[in-house]
């Protein structure tokens, strides 16, 4: 099905199932422990051995010698694979560094060997016996130093966030110099790691020349393709299964060392191999969100209208990598005739920087939305009114191009009323409750809408049961449920008559989970397949498909009603189709919007920060399942609190690795850190997006929330911290004197 004209009225609009807050159909499996994750396919891969990866102990250089003698003699060892004996390996397009290093080393903890043994403990012990002599080279580990000579570099996250090296509209420098009110400030964001619950894990099994991998992965077809390229075997010889994934956040968008080395180990040991990355290995071996240094300059007239706007960002990555596209949202978010955005990319020898939830916008809005607050204060304007004053209904760089939907002002207005914003003091540091300083902060949420082709296979049997098969993944987001809702709505049956099978490369290629495009695109693919199934059913029943009504398990035209299953009485009906998108997203700007509100308390003695209330109001097209959408939002908001107040990978600039590479040293929010969270979805449908008239919310909830937290801390204390995370060592000595009890 080609989607190249705006959607008209269709069966989804009935909203009998779609749009209802629905419990996740996979919930009972997960809570009972019967939903099988990557490391748990013991029955289909029996007698599996265990793999353990040896990671490089240097960040830059080469392996001079490797002695495997003791490791090979260790109890239980079945095989050891290194780059020297792995055979010729290719390199997939989604990885910046090689998944198996040697003799050249690209980064710390790059995999250099895998030890396979009868038990996990034996594999781990033998890995510790591998002796490696290195020749260390001088590495580049300091972003600030690297940016001094870094070139201007464009980039594209592949998820709707992109920007050229430099983009100009009008004459920024002249307009900024002439602006009566100016802001020129620098902000920094640190390296961050995904810290998902489920580690990167794989079971690999060979049967002749054919390989099956059960793995934790968000994008089945991308990864199957890259694994085939890396191993140098036909793609058709690989089956990849990712039925349930315990969190990804972008860190599992493509294959990592666990997939490749489990596959190589299984081939060498002639046994299935189970391999999971340890938590420290995940931080230094798998991708992370790169640190940024950002400069924001805003010039306005005395009434607060932006006349000059510039957002410049610098980040680093391994050779061949891309910049963090932190300026992308700044091209679209606020009005202003004279504009400048640019990005620089420093070459660093740190572990690979790559996609992490809302790549680009998450980092960029941490700076931009703090700068907007700072500018509002300079002007003496309420920060919400300043944002509303500079709202735009068209692409500010291409005024002839309108937004398909843009309810940002309504998000801000509704949020302000719901949150009690009118009680906030414009002047910071004015509200106290005993030893606590109280403040409120706001920030705008923005994320582009992206759609990608997605396919599905739909089956109908004589009992009227509809089965959907697609390689779409569920990374804890509720894909099983919204796909079931879509099929139920289209075929006129209840959820109890729908079976959903996901995450298997034997199924049609879907959008996959990432970039906030998964839900909208994958359900649109199911919609397309169901349209075809409706046509076949109507034909089998001798009915006119154009006027047939599918409802309550029956198909009816006029006064004639026939049970849906009757169409499959002579045999199961199987159809397949996919959604392909035209150029509607080029004709109009499709984006999602929101407004975050935060109340924070700061202890005037200790500097302790407590987030007390959180609210997000968002407009993101049709919400397919408000229950799971809310879960996505509050999870993202929680992640944003981590980014604002605690998450930071500490770089050892001598040896080039992340020091705090486990959950003891890399802090993430826990239940005690998170207060009541409220989410409001505005009524909205976007017929230019898809037949579902939906968009996505999975990453929108993260965009801007960190700035809202930081702005609330400033409003509480009057101390501005521009270097994330906002930790007490950065402001404690500047706090106003505490009140005397």
Task: Supply the angle between the helices 626-645 and 361-379 in degrees, to the nearest 10.
Answer: 70
- What's the rounded Cα separation, in Å, for the pair 551 and 227? 44
CA 227 to chain centre: 22
Phi then psi dihedrals of residue 237, to 5 deg: -90, 5
Cα Dmax for the chain = 85
The DSSP line for 517-586 is THHHHHHHHHHHHHHHHHHHHHHHTT--TTT-EEETTEEEETTEEEEGGGGGTTS-EEEEEEEEE-SHHH
3-state secondary structure of 266: helix
Phi then psi dihedrals of residue 494, to 5 deg: -85, 165
DSSP 67: E
Judge residue 586's burial from the number of C-beta atoms within 10 Å of its C-beta, 0-12 exposed, 13-18 middle, 19 or more buried: exposed
3-state secondary structure of 644: helix
Q: Could you say which of 374, 377, 647, 699 is catalytic?
A: 699
Reading phi first (left if > 0) and then psi (alpha if -120 to 50, else beta), residue 701 is in: alpha
Q: Contact 102/63 with Cβ under 8 angstroms?
A: yes
CA angle (131 as vertex; 127, 134 as ends), nearest 5: 120
Tokens in use for 263? 């596959």
Tokens in use for 242? 């990712």
- What's the rounded Cα separation, in Å, for the pair 534 and 544? 10
**Pairing label, strands 560-563, 573-581:** unpaired
- Cβ neighbors of 181 (< 8 A, separation 6 or more) are 299, 300, 301, 302, 304, 375, 378, 379
Query: Active site includes 576?
Result: no
Secondary structure string (H, E, C) spanning 397-456: CEEEEEECCCCHHHHHHHHHHHHCHHHCCCCCCCEEECCEEEEEEEEEEEEECCCCCEEE
DSSP 149: S
Tokens in use for 46? 């029996």
Phi then psi dihedrals of residue 370, to 5 deg: -75, -40
DSSP 152: B
- What's the rounded Cα separation, in Å, for the pair 423 and 416? 10
DSSP 739: P
Give the end-to-end CA distance of the chain in Å, rounded to a whole number. 70
- Cβ neighbors of 432 (< 8 A, separation 6 or more) are 438, 604, 739
Q: Give the catalytic positions in this structure.
A: 699
């Amino acid at each position: 099905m080609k989607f190249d004209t705006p959607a008209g009225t269709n069966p989804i609009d009935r909203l009998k199932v779609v749009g209802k807050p629905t419990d996740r159909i996979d919930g009972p499996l997960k809570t009972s422990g019967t939903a099988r994750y990557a490391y748990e396919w013991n029955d289909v891969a029996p007698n599996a051995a265990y793999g353990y990866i040896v990671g490089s102990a240097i960040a830059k250089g080469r392996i001079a010698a490797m002695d495997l003698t003791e490791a090979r003699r260790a109890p239980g060892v079945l095989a050891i694979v290194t780059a020297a004996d792995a055979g010729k390996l290719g390199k997939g397009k989604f990885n910046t560094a090689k998944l198996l290093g040697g003799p050249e080393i690209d980064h710390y903890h790059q995999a250099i060997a895998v030890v396979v043994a009868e038990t996990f403990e034996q594999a781990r012990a033998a890995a510790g016996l591998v002796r490696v002599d290195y020749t260390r080279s001088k590495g580049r580990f300091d972003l600030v130093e690297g940016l001094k000579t870094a070139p201007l570099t464009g980039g594209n996250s592949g998820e709707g966030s992109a920007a050229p090296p430099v983009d100009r509209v009008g004459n920024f420098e002249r307009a900024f110099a002439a602006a009566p009110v100016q802001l020129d400030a620098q902000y920094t964001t640190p390296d961050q790691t995904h810290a998902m619950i489920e580690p990167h894990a794989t079971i690999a099994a060979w049967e002749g020349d054919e390989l099956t991998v059960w793995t934790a992965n968000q994008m089945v077809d991308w990864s199957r393709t890259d694994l085939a390229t890396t191993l140098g075997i036909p793609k058709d010889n690989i089956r990849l299964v990712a039925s349930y994934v315990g969190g990804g956040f972008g860190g599992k968008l493509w294959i990592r060392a666990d997939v490749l080395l489990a596959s190589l180990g299984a081939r060498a040991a002639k046994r299935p191999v189970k391999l999971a990355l340890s938590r420290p290995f995940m931080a230094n071996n798998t991708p992370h969100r790169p640190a940024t240094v950002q400069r924001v300059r805003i010039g306005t007239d005395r009434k607060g209208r932006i006349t000059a706007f510039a957002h410049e960002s610098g980040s680093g990555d391994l050779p061949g990598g891309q910049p963090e596209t932190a300026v992308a949202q700044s091209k679209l978010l606020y009005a202003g005739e004279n504009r400048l955005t640019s990005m620089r990319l420093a070459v660093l020898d740190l572990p690979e920087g790559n996609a992490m939830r809302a790549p680009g916008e998450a980092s960029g809005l941490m700076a931009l939305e703090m700068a907007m607050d700072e500018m509002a204060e300079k002007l003496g304007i309420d920060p919400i009114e300043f944002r509303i004053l500079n709202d735009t209904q068209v692409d500010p760089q291409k005024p002839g191009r309108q937004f398909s939907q843009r309810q940002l002002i309504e998000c801000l207005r509704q949020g302000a009323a719901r949150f009690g914003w009118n009680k906030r003091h414009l002047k910071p540091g004015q509200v106290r409750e005993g030893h606590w300083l109280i403040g409120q902060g706001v920030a705008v949420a923005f994320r582009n809408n992206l759609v990608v082709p997605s396919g599905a296979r739909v089956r109908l049997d004589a009992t009227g049961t509809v089965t959907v098969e697609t390689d779409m993944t569920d990374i804890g987001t509720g894909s099983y449920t919204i796909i079931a809702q879509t099929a139920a709505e289209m075929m006129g049956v209840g959820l109890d008559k729908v079976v959903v099978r996901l995450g298997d490369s034997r199924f049609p290629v879907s959008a996959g989970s990432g970039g906030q495009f998964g839900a909208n695109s994958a359900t649109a693919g199911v919609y397309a397949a169901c349209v075809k199934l409706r046509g076949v059913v109507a034909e089998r029943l001798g009915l006119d498909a154009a006027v047939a009504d599918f409802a309550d398990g029956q198909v009816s035209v006029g006064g004639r009603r026939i049970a849906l299953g009757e169409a499959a009485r002579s045999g199961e009906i199987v159809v397949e189709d996919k959604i392909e998108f035209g150029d509607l997203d080029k004709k109009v700007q499709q984006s999602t919007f929101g407004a975050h509100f935060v109340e924070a308390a700061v202890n005037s003695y200790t500097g302790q920060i407590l987030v007390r209330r959180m609210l997000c109001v968002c407009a993101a097209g049709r919400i397919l399942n408000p229950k799971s959408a809310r879960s996505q939002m509050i999870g993202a908001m929680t992640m944003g609190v981590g980014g604002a107040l605690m998450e930071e990978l500490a770089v050892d600039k001598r040896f080039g690795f992340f020091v705090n590479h486990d959950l003891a040293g890399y802090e993430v929010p826990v239940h005690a850190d998170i207060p009541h969270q409220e989410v409001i979805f505005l009524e909205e449908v976007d017929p230019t997006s898809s037949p579902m008239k939906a968009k996505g919310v999975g990453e929108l909830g993260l965009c801007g929330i960190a700035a809202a937290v930081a702005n609330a801390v400033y409003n509480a204390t009057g101390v501005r911290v521009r270097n994330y995370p906002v930790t007490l060592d950065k402001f404690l000595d500047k706090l106003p004197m505490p009140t005397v009890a």
